[in-house]
Structure 1
Amino acid sequence: MTTEPLEAIFEHGSFRLVRPPNIPLREGQRVRLVVETEESPDTILALAANVYAGLSPQDITEVEQIALQRQNFFGDQG
């Protein structure tokens, strides 16, 4: 099986390739698509807005203090 990542845009119910594939394909050949979507800036901002959801003010303060001490951010790893 030969694989090649291809970039495409989904329009009107079909995928339109951004550029032609480098691997030879014949007309009517069946292929398998694995779709990976890119997160929009709005989606990322919405996730960031909820980063402290469910934490107490004390927990938030503790997390921010740890983040400021970046060498301890991931705890003792070695």
Structure 2
Amino acid sequence: MQQVVEAVYENGVFRPLKALELSEGQEVQLIIHAKSKIDPNQMLRLAAEVYQGLSDEQIRDVEKIAIDRQSFFGETEQ
């Protein structure tokens, strides 16, 4: 059985954030993928780089497309 388990590492042990369907004492194999913590200022810097190198006209075009959800996602009206 394979499952993805969200957990927190505290006091030297992993504490699952939700109950698991495991038998007491059952051995498992853990593969750790640490979630990176990006501070809000770093997130703003990354967001600002989206428009880097674009002209004002290109930025307006991108924003117009993003605001127009119908065109952005290729959806049609029902």
**Short-chain TM bin:** 0.5 to 0.7
Gaps of 5+ in 2: none
Pairwise CA RMSD: 3.4
Q: Percent identity?
A: 30
Is 2:14 aligned against 1:16?
Answer: yes
User: Cα deviations across residues 22-71 of structure 1 (Å, max 9, x unaligned)?
Assistant: 212537x3513252526546254343222212211111011122223322
User: TM-score, length-normalised on structure 2?
Assistant: 0.56
Measure how far apart 1:8 and its partner are: 1.7
Structure with the largest fraction of helix: 2
Aligned length: 74
Gaps of 5+ in 1: none
Question: Counterpart in 2 of 1:33?
Answer: 31
User: TM-score, length-normalised on structure 1?
Assistant: 0.56
Is 2:55 aligned against 1:60?
Answer: no
